[in-house]
Amino acid sequence: MLTRISHRKLWTSARRVLRPSLCRTSSAPLPSPLSHSHTFSSSAFALRSTTYAYFDFDFLHWKRHCFSTQPALELPAGKIVDVPLAQTGEGIAECELLKWHVQEGDYIEDFQPLCEVQSDKATIEITSRYKGKVAHVLHVPGDIVKVGETLLKILVDETAFPSATVGDSEITKSLHSDQVLVNESASAIAALGNSNNAELLDSDLEKRKRAAVLSTPAVRSLAKQHGIDINEVCGTGKDGRVLKEDVLNFAAKKGIIVSVSAVLDADNVEKPRGAEGYTVTPEYKSPSEDRILPLRGYQRAMVKSMSLAAKVPHFHYVDEINCNALVELKTAFQKNNPYPDVKHTFLPILVKSLSMALTKYPALNSCFKEDSMEVILKGSHNIGVAMATPNGLVVPNIKNVQSLSILEITKELARLQQLASENKLTSDDISGGTITLSNIGAIGGKFGSPLLNLPEVSIIAIGRIQKIPQFDGNGNVYPVSLMTVNVGADHRVLDGATVSRFCNEWKQLIENPELLMLHLK
């Protein structure tokens, strides 16, 4: 048993083996450090003229002995690896970097969040596949990053990989395969046998030092702005981190800038900051000046989707719905609300009644495949609700409304609204919609003419509920709460008669909400 433990320790200590071509080799008996340890069993080793390597490092005042039958493998331990932007969804080619959760020099664990990115469809959190130290951050918040492009570089922790321990049944195989983890610096240390190799080591170490300069993206951007190679700047921060002052002092010595203090004073002027802490550009004093505003995230998605929708032949059907009973029902919900965290509104009732009408007219809950000239009638009522957020227009959808109660729709709608305001909607929240409801009345306006949210074939815009006077059959005036609805439809799939019948069905359910009880399951 002691022999096996000794063998295991010996092979573990030989993890940083060097290539035989860089060392003295011999078939003579092993030097004393090996001979003093337990002798290897002949049954476990089939050694024929086994070569060993002996390293004598006088400049480090230590000696080490190990052996190898072939060059060691270059595995990622102790190596800088690239972390690219992975594919975040079908058809996504690029994402906007929203914010970093780490910075250069931070030590990170497996699956630790690195950053947040936003595609045309959702906000995604990127996590780490490695354990190690952040070596280099390549992008700043606001950058557009292509799929496959490197986000940051990580110096992989050597301890994150399994050490090379071998048992009796594995030692013979290990002698031939040499499955030993290698640190990047091993080959460089072995090169110290002569002065030429020492120069090679110095050059190699210098390259590594230059590649591992610690600094923030803002400091790198400042160095790039002044045409300075940041690898030439001596850092005074923790662990040699290059600070802003280091770059400015270097620039002053090179004569690139006149005064460091003048630049710092100009940068210390307090600027307004947004919700995420990013600097907000102050408004121009002169209204005649042009400004360039890049479209990002949901705004870019709206450009693409509306450009496609504009090519589809639309028609619109407008009607007015009496909402007196709807107002009374909502008031009753509020007065008898056993859930203090639930706020009742008109929208969940409208969504549920819409689902009831779609059951009778499924053509409006479909999508059109132009290439095969087919219409797919959707079995699920995934009703999208357009939401105006600080980041643009987004349309998350409530899944399987036909199976939900009004209370469940209310809670799901509140969840989606909360995520939308925080810019944390997932791709599942946004994808899979079958029909869209746009409540422009929540902001203002009587009605609108909505464009389709392809590949859906219908969209409904509802205006605000207004109390106006109307005449009855006897000429008497009475108040009524009216809501204007505008149904936009794909004329390749739907015709005016179908949309009119559907709207009449929906109108009947809204004006007589007690009819909803007939369809409950």
| CATH number of the domain that residue 236 is part of | 4.10.320.10
SS3 (DSSP) at 169: helix
Among 19-33, 217-231, 330-344, 402-416, the range scoring the smallest mean pLDDT is 19-33
What confidence score (pLDDT) does residue 512 get?
93
Place of tokens 């008497």: 476
Strands annotated E in 325-431: 366-369, 374-377, 383-385, 387-389, 392-394, 397-398
Q: Can you tell me the distance from the alpha carbon of 342 to that of 407, in angstroms, rounded to the nearest whole number?
A: 9
**Is the pLDDT score of 462 beyond 70?**
yes
- Is 377 in the same domain as 463? yes
102-127: average pLDDT: 85
What confidence score (pLDDT) does residue 263 get?
60
Confidence label for 494 from pLDDT (cuts 50, 70 and 90): very high
Alpha helices (runs of H) in 254-341, residue ranges in sequence order: 260-267, 298-309, 324-335
Q: Considering 168, 239, 267, 491, which one is annotated as catalytic?
A: 491
Cβ pair 157, 4 in contact under 8 A: no
pTM of the full structure: 0.56
- DSSP string over 471-511: E-TTS-EEEEEEEEEEEEEETTT--HHHHHHHHHHHHHHHH
Angle at 83 between CA 80 and CA 89, to 5 degrees: 170
Of the three residues 250, 273, 302, the one that is the final residue of a domain is 250
| Pairing relationship of beta strands 435-439 and 383-385 according to DSSP bridges | parallel
Between residues 253 and 67, the one the model is more confident about: 253
449 occurs within a structural domain: yes
Q: Can you tell me the distance from the alpha carbon of 396 to that of 433, in angstroms, rounded to the nearest whole number?
A: 8
Between residues 119 and 60, the one the model is more confident about: 119
Q: Which of 64-68, 161-165, 345-349 has the highest mean pLDDT?
A: 345-349
pLDDT digits over 38-56, tens only?
434 334 333 333 334 344 4
What confidence score (pLDDT) does residue 59 get?
38
- Is 493 in the same domain as 350? yes
Between residues 381 and 170, the one the model is more confident about: 381
Confidence label for 210 from pLDDT (cuts 50, 70 and 90): very low
What confidence score (pLDDT) does residue 286 get?
53
- Is 97 in the same domain as 232? no
> Around Cβ 496, how many Cβ atoms within 10 Å?
13
Cβ pair 459, 450 in contact under 8 A: yes
- Is 225 in the same domain as 124? no
Q: Which of 195, 225, 203, 230 is nearest to 215 (CA)?
A: 230
Among 229-233, 434-438, 512-516, the range scoring the smallest mean pLDDT is 229-233
SS3 (DSSP) at 126: strand
**Is the pLDDT score of 345 beyond 80?**
yes
CATH number of the domain enclosing 138: 2.40.50.100
**Is the pLDDT score of 64 beyond 60?**
no
Q: Which residues contact 496 (CB under 8 A, 6 or more apart)?
A: 315, 317
Active site residue 519: no
What confidence score (pLDDT) does residue 294 get?
79
| Pairing relationship of beta strands 435-439 and 458-462 according to DSSP bridges | parallel
- Is 326 in the same domain as 474? yes
- Is 245 in the same domain as 316? no
11 occurs within a structural domain: no
Between residues 260 and 179, the one the model is more confident about: 260
**Is the pLDDT score of 163 beyond 50?**
no
Percent of the chain with pLDDT over 70: 68
330-341: average pLDDT: 87
Q: Can you tell me the distance from the alpha carbon of 450 to that of 438, in angstroms, rounded to the nearest whole number?
A: 8
- Is 436 in the same domain as 508? yes
62 occurs within a structural domain: no
Q: Considering 65, 139, 495, 519, which one is annotated as catalytic?
A: 495
- Is 437 in the same domain as 350? yes
Q: Can you tell me the distance from the alpha carbon of 109 to that of 86, in angstroms, rounded to the nearest whole number?
A: 19
If residue 189 lies in a helix (H) or strand (E), which one and from where to where? helix 186-190
Confidence label for 295 from pLDDT (cuts 50, 70 and 90): confident
Among 95-99, 184-188, 384-388, 422-426, the range scoring the smallest mean pLDDT is 184-188
What confidence score (pLDDT) does residue 404 get?
94
Confidence label for 36 from pLDDT (cuts 50, 70 and 90): very low
> Around Cβ 60, how many Cβ atoms within 10 Å?
11
Angle at 280 between CA 278 and CA 283, to 5 degrees: 175
Percent of the chain with pLDDT over 90: 33
What confidence score (pLDDT) does residue 223 get?
80
- Is 439 in the same domain as 321? yes
Active site residue 36: no
- Identity (one letter) of the amino acid at 445? G
Range of the structural domain that residue 105 is part of? 79-156
What confidence score (pLDDT) does residue 159 get?
56
> Around Cβ 335, how many Cβ atoms within 10 Å?
8
Q: Can you tell me the distance from the alpha carbon of 227 to that of 232, in angstroms, rounded to the nearest whole number?
A: 12
Q: Which of 139, 110, 144 is nearest to 127 (CA)?
A: 110
117-142: average pLDDT: 85
What confidence score (pLDDT) does residue 338 get?
87
Cα-only R_g, the chain = 35
- Is 122 in the same domain as 242? no
What confidence score (pLDDT) does residue 71 get?
36
18 occurs within a structural domain: no
- Is 239 in the same domain as 361? no
Q: Can you tell me the distance from the alpha carbon of 293 to that of 283, in angstroms, rounded to the nearest whole number?
A: 13
**Phi, psi dihedrals of residue 265, rounded to the nearest 5°:** -65, -40
Cβ pair 378, 434 in contact under 8 A: yes
**Is the pLDDT score of 221 beyond 60?**
yes
**Is the pLDDT score of 499 beyond 60?**
yes
Cβ pair 417, 425 in contact under 8 A: no
Among 55-59, 113-117, 445-449, the range scoring the smallest mean pLDDT is 55-59
- Identity (one letter) of the amino acid at 444? G
For the chain, the domain total comes to 3
48 occurs within a structural domain: no
Q: Give me the chain's average pLDDT, please.
A: 74
303 occurs within a structural domain: no
**Is the pLDDT score of 182 beyond 50?**
no
- Is 381 in the same domain as 513? yes
Q: Which of 436, 429, 351 is nearest to 386 (CA)?
A: 436
Confidence label for 265 from pLDDT (cuts 50, 70 and 90): low
88 occurs within a structural domain: yes
Of the three residues 130, 156, 182, the one that is the final residue of a domain is 156
CATH number of the domain enclosing 428: 3.30.559.10
454 occurs within a structural domain: yes
Of the three residues 140, 156, 172, the one that is the final residue of a domain is 156
Q: Which residues pair with 460 in a beta bridge?
A: 437, 487
